[in-house]
Structure 1
Amino acid sequence: MTDPGAWGRGVSVAGLAAVFLAAITAQAVAITRSWGPWYWVPGGVAAAAVCVPALLGLRRPLWPAVAGFGLAAAAIAAVRAAGPDLPAEPSPAMALGLAVLTGSAIRSLPPAPAAAVTAAGPVVIIAGQFAAGPPAAGLAAVTALDGLVWSAAVGAGLAVRLLDARARGRAGRVRRDERLELARELHDVVAHHITGMVLQAQGAQVVARRNPEQVSGYLGEMEAAGTEALAAMRRVVGLLRDADDAAPASPGPERLGALVERFRGQGPEVRLSLPDGLADDAWPPEVTTTVYRVAREALTNVLRHAPGARSVTVTVGQGPEGVTVEIADDAPDSPARHPHRGGYGLIGMRERVESLGGSLRAGPRPGGGGWSVRAALPVPAGRSR
């Protein structure tokens, strides 16, 4: 399936390239009418040379910005050397490319390089004014236009940088909340495994008095349970040190059924499909709870962001390689849904699933007509109950 993010970036680059081309074309027409044929060529070539780094620097703007402003400075020096025979630089089309570089730098770069790129804008604009003529002659129209374009770029870059910072803050809070919840659940994981080991030890003591030769079997089961407990503990401790993981223990298939029943009373019809003969302890506890949480978060998103959904299907599958859970609705697709349906609630779920070696996909259903969230979780050999 095509990555929506990569597709969106491609559309953005293509759209910006079209804007640059339109600006260079309009500039060429205006210069031809006022200066005559061929006077537009130097400025058009210089503007194109700056717009190309602007397109390349949308995600990593530092070196493209250095190249763009360097080319702008070279164009100004050439105009100064040629005297009044060429239109002043930076031209409006070039200023547009420099503005994109400035906005991208303000949004993406650390404060010091972002400030340096931002400060380069007024330097180039002032140099262009001097190249056009003495300051006493008055502010050139192209200089005033360049200044307005630069100001707009600075304002847009600062606004997007602030929005990005807020988004990162919200995502960080989601991750912290997830870690705190998992820390509370750590006790349940330990209790689940240790309780089994205690029961096996008690059984071994009883068997030792009657059939000592069977004790080795109990000891093997205790060893396996201890190894299982250590593996679950490592995942949770790794989460608490770094990112989000999963190792909780309790909501089995019966809780999943209760979850579906609760949502049926709040929104569209919800259908649940489980493998035949699935036992409550069919999976390791961290897998069981992750399946439950993915289903809960996806159903919550349906209530919040898909008011047009008539039905939702929750499908849980089990195979030799692991467990899958998919939540799919039939709400009509619309562009407004896309930014929201993969929001902050699924950030913790995605990292939780991936920490178990699984994968999570949230997006439009193949073929259109609804949205789906699908998680695949491996169950290592010997871990299933």
Structure 2
Amino acid sequence: MRAQGWPAERTGVMADVGLGAVFAATLAFWAFLIARSWGGDYWRFGCAAGAVVCVIALARRRDRTWAAVAGLAVAVAAVLVARLAHLPSEPGPAMALGLSVLVGSAVRALPAPSACAVAAGGCAVVAGSLLTAHASSSGVPSVTALNGTGWLAGLAIGLCLRLLSARRRSVAEKVRRDERLQLARELHDVVAHHITGIVLQTQATRLLARKRPETVDGSLADIEAAGSDALAAMRRVVGLLRDADDAAPVAPGPERLSDLVERFGGHGPAVCLRLPDGEDESVWPPEVAGTVYRVVQESLTNISRHARHARSVTVSVARDREAVVVEVVDDASPAPARRHHRGGYGLVGMRERLEALGGTLCAGPRPEAGWSVLATLPLPARTRR
């Protein structure tokens, strides 16, 4: 962690060193001008007040709020003293530069109310500079123009950096949100499917234990196999949290649809699987193959949960030149629970997967009987033929 933070820390130190050199050069130049035009020791007060603000600006990272308040307070005091003692106009160039740094730093990093308060204070100092300003042929006193320019520059730079930081945070949060959604979808799609199968097989085994005890061993073997599949699926999901090079592929390909249908048919209604004639599914992009599998898997899981009275299920996968179309239909009679299921997380996850790839999803009751899930997934141009 220290190795990662060191470059940024070193950059900040180097920036402050360069800023300190600019402050020192500005103070020296201002002292020379005052001594040349006013004579005597008139330069001492302005340079001392400017040096204080510059030092505060260099220490701003310790506490940006108090640094800004202290810098503005010194500036106000300098304006009042210069007015009462008839000294050269304040704030001078060095102080104006320090105030610009303080205002920009506050606007960039402080909460909105505090940032607005500091910006307003800087504007008040610009207006107060009129108290010590000397007449100018252009109509705008030079000290006011100088401080106004510095204030505007600090405000503009601070706002730009604030917006950039907000944008970076927004992008980072979106990435984290997408990763959480992906993990949630994988947990729902992969694990819930296998757990549902285990629960259904366990229920069936309890019935067999009373009626045909001799078949219990086979049912327990099926439950053990389903548990092993669930464990393997969980390992694939955990792979999402690891580096891409280390993680096992999460989404199995469409060539395993037959295995999926076979497992479902062992404890659910009969399933008829229709695949494209002569289609080599291995040429499909992995994201398309995985999405096809997940749509079928989620649809069969929903049938297990919400359409136990279904007698048959048809899974059709078709492909034309531009898209793959997946349809899963059952013949279960309508039920209130089934009608309200359309808002579940499974359908949300399927829709998110499909929309991410430019596809569409339609799910709902069929006119005659049963439920239909129809997914259309466009193929990338490179795979079309």
Alignment TM-score, normalising by the size of structure 2: 0.50
Task: Determine the structure 2 residue equivalent to 1:289.
Answer: 240
The one of 48, 55, 60 aligned to 1:57: 60
Q: 2 CA distance for matches of 1:290 and 1:192?
A: 21
Q: How many residues are aligned here?
A: 238
CA contact (8 A) 2:105 2:158 kept: yes
Task: Determine the structure 1 residue equivalent to 2:45.
Answer: 42
Deviation of 1:293 (Å): 2.7
Residue identity matched to 2:240:
T
Deviation of 1:137 (Å): 11
Q: 2 CA distance for matches of 1:294 and 1:19?
A: 49
Residue identity matched to 1:183:
A
Between Structure 1 and Structure 2, whose CA radius of gyration is higher? 2
Deviation of 1:94 (Å): 0.2
CA change 1:135–1:21 in 2 (3 A) is: closer
Please show how residues 1-150 of structure 1 align to structure 2 within 5 Å.
1=3, 3=5, 4-58=7-61, 60-83=63-86, 86-132=87-133, 138-150=139-151
Q: Could you report, residue by residue, the CA deviation over 1:265-284 in whole angstroms, capped at 9, with x for unpaired residues? A: xxxxxxxxxxxxxxxxxx95
Partner SS, residue 87 of structure 1: coil
Residue identity matched to 2:34:
I
Q: 1 CA distance for matches of 2:57 and 2:89?
A: 21
Residue identity matched to 2:92:
S
- Structure 1, 177-186 or 2-11: larger mean CA deviation: 2-11
Q: 2 CA distance for matches of 1:171 and 1:37?
A: 58
Residue identity matched to 1:11:
M
Residue identity matched to 2:71:
G
CA contact (8 A) 1:48 1:94 kept: yes
Residue identity matched to 2:56:
P
CA contact (8 A) 1:32 1:40 kept: yes
Q: 2 CA distance for matches of 1:284 and 1:73?
A: 65
CA change 1:295–1:34 in 2 (3 A) is: farther
Identity %: 47
- Structure 1, 134-143 or 171-180: larger mean CA deviation: 134-143
Please show how residues 301-340 of structure 1 align to structure 2 within 5 Å.
none
Deviation of 1:69 (Å): 0.3
Q: 1 CA distance for matches of 2:235 and 2:40?
A: 77
For CA contacts below 8 A with separation 6 or more, give which structure has more relative contact order: 1
Q: Over the residues paired in the alignment, what is the CA RMSD in angstroms?
A: 4.3
CA change 1:137–1:195 in 2 (3 A) is: closer
CA change 1:289–1:154 in 2 (3 A) is: closer
Task: Determine the structure 2 residue equivalent to 1:318.
Answer: none
Residue identity matched to 1:43:
G
CA contact (8 A) 2:187 2:237 kept: no
Gaps of 5+ in 1: 211-220, 230-248, 251-282, 297-385
Q: 1 CA distance for matches of 2:236 and 2:31?
A: 68
Q: 2 CA distance for matches of 1:19 and 1:196?
A: 72
Partner SS, residue 293 of structure 1: coil
Task: Determine the structure 2 residue equivalent to 1:186.
Answer: 187
Deviation of 1:50 (Å): 0.9
Deviation of 1:122 (Å): 2.6
Q: 2 CA distance for matches of 1:182 and 1:76?
A: 60
Deviation of 1:150 (Å): 1.2
CA change 1:36–1:295 in 2 (3 A) is: farther
Q: 2 CA distance for matches of 1:295 and 1:23?
A: 56
Residue identity matched to 2:120:
A
Residue identity matched to 1:65:
A
CA contact (8 A) 1:54 1:98 kept: yes
CA change 1:172–1:190 in 2 (3 A) is: same
Residue identity matched to 1:293:
A
Residue identity matched to 2:244:
R
Deviation of 1:67 (Å): 0.6
Alignment TM-score, normalising by the size of structure 1: 0.50
Task: Determine the structure 2 residue equivalent to 1:315.
Answer: none
Deviation of 1:161 (Å): 1.8
Gaps of 5+ in 2: 207-212, 215-223, 248-385
Deviation of 1:49 (Å): 1.0
Q: 2 CA distance for matches of 1:79 and 1:91?
A: 11
Partner SS, residue 244 of structure 2: helix
